[in-house]
Amino acid sequence: MEMGYVENGFIVDLSNSRRTADMIYELSRILDIPEAKGKGVCIKFGDNIVEKAQLVSIKALVESMDFDIEFISANSEETKQAAEELGIKVSVIDNEIPVPDFAEVTPEEPVNPELEKALDKIFGDSEFGEEQTIETQEVTEAKDDTDAETMKELEKELQEYLEKSKETEKLPTLYIQRNIRSGQSIKSDGNLVIVGDVNPGSEIIAKGDITVWGILGGIAHAGCEGNLYTKIRALKMNAIQLRIGDVFARRPDSVNIPFVQKTDTFTPEEARVFRKQILIHKIHEA
């Protein structure tokens, strides 16, 4: 197994599903997409304690859908023991990528200047759309339906968000200029910029913001150490699962992945947390 990559693998993260029924539903929903066919399933249970009987049900579902479990990843010793008793491999995707030290880079030698200009042109700076987004989805409704006190509270929350979200600007940024393939997992302890597509079955994780100059079709987790003020941006937001801090969201079942991926029309989108929910808005929308 190559570090951070499972050949012909498909990563499924069930760490947010607590009950067996939720795990079964989430797993069947994800494995039903066309991109998963013919891939070895890599299941991440996180801190969930999965007993042998539960794992038997999950294994039966995977095999009934003509898949094999490549391995599971779990933090719980009970889950690991149950997997070993069933002959399921227990492994860990070692996907840590150290952030480069940019301290020695001089102003005369900028890092990826053309790339930075292109990203700024498409996504704008980190403050673009902040006020507009929450204004559109929350504050505008408050103007029509609530009193001045509620408006003041919303504006205070917005200001707090804007101030705390700037903390990610202090983190170094890692640029990866290639597609992230199914089965591949990338993690950075700074901001992460992917110039390419993040395919279904892969995952990208960052301590800070995530920006994908392409189609985001896999798993994305920004603010992995609990920062709720990080953001996820993409030219086309089609992620199987999104996480910002400890807030989780998944793509609606009705999304047609092949149709979305074949389109040549891209409207940059951004996801962020507001009041414990992940909101997605379009950037630079006319």
What CATH number has the domain bearing residue 66? 3.30.70
The contacts of residue 258 (CB under 8 Å, 6+ apart) are: 34
Residue 247 belongs to domain spanning:
98-286
Instruction: Please indicate, yes or no, if residue 243 is contained in any of the structural domains.
Output: yes
Statement to judge: residues 111 and 187 lie in one domain: yes
d(CA 99, CA 153): 38
Choose one of 56, 76, 94: the last residue of a domain: 94
Choose one of 94, 127, 143: the last residue of a domain: 94
Residue 94: pLDDT over 70 = no
Statement to judge: residues 265 and 126 lie in one domain: yes
Statement to judge: residues 172 and 107 lie in one domain: yes
Instruction: Please indicate, yes or no, if residue 134 is contained in any of the structural domains.
Output: yes
pLDDT at 128: 35
For residue 193 the two structure tokens come to 């910029």
Instruction: Please indicate, yes or no, if residue 235 is contained in any of the structural domains.
Output: yes
DSSP string for 70-127? EEEEES-HHHHHHHHHTT--B-----EEPPP--TT--TTS-SSHHHHHHHHHHH--TT
| Domains of the chain: total | 2
Burial bucket for residue 64 (CB in 10 Å: 0-12, 13-18, 19+): exposed
pLDDT in tens, 25-34: 999 999 999 9
C-beta of residue 130 within 8 angstroms of C-beta of residue 160: no
Give this prediction's pTM: 0.75
Place of tokens 């993690």: 187
- pLDDT-derived band at 156 (thresholds 50, 70, 90) equals confident
Q: What CATH code is carried by the domain that includes residue 120?
A: 2.160.20.70
pLDDT in tens, 128-152: 333 333 334 444 454 555 577 777 7
Statement to judge: residues 177 and 141 lie in one domain: yes
Choose one of 94, 129, 154: the last residue of a domain: 94
Statement to judge: residues 108 and 33 lie in one domain: no
Statement to judge: residues 42 and 150 lie in one domain: no
What DSSP element (H or E) covers 233? strand 232-237
